[in-house]
Amino acid sequence: SQQGEEDPQALSIQEGENATMNCSYKTSINNLQWYRQNSGRGLVHLILIRSNEREKHSGRLRVTLDTSKKSSSLLITASRAADTASYFCATDATRTSGSRLTFGEGTQLTVNP
């Protein structure tokens, strides 16, 4: 079964609005990562947050991690039409899974111009 589960499955917003996506997972992790996938393309790494970190920023991205609730959120501020893509969280539980990344099913974000 999938380690990570994203919520919502689909999100549609207007340009300029903020987009928040959530990820829940089941086991202890070393780090959690977020990836983006444009239609018909491979996944691209966005940001990594370690298990001892609570928040991390990168440009318009803000990621939080709550290990007590086994959840993470990705916030994209001031969204643009070019942010339209699928977003996946991936968990790294190296101690138990040998450097594998386990992905959720993703959130499809649509940013309307």
Task: Indicate the DSSP class of residue 9.
Answer: S
16: left (phi over 0), alpha (psi -120 to 50) or beta: left
* Identity of the residue, 71 or 102, whose beta carbon is nearer to other proteins in the bound complex: 102
Give one DSSP letter per residue of 57-113, joined into a string.
EETTEEEEEETTTTEEEEEE-S--GGG-EEEEEEEE-HHHHTT-EEE---EEEEEE-
Q: Does 105 bind other proteins (CB under 8 A)?
A: yes
If binding is defined by CB under 8 A, does position 25 make contact with other proteins? no
In the list 42, 52, 68, 113, the residue contacting other proteins (rule: CB under 8 A) is 42
**Which listed residue (63, 70, 102, 111) binds other proteins by CB under 8 A?**
102
The nearer residue to other proteins, 88 or 111, going by C-beta atoms, is 88
In angstroms, the CA 57 to CA 30 distance is 18
Q: Which stretch binds other proteins (CB under 8 A): 20-28, 40-48, 55-63, 72-80?
A: 40-48
Q: Tell which one of 13, 48, 61, 75 touches other proteins (CB under 8 A).
A: 48
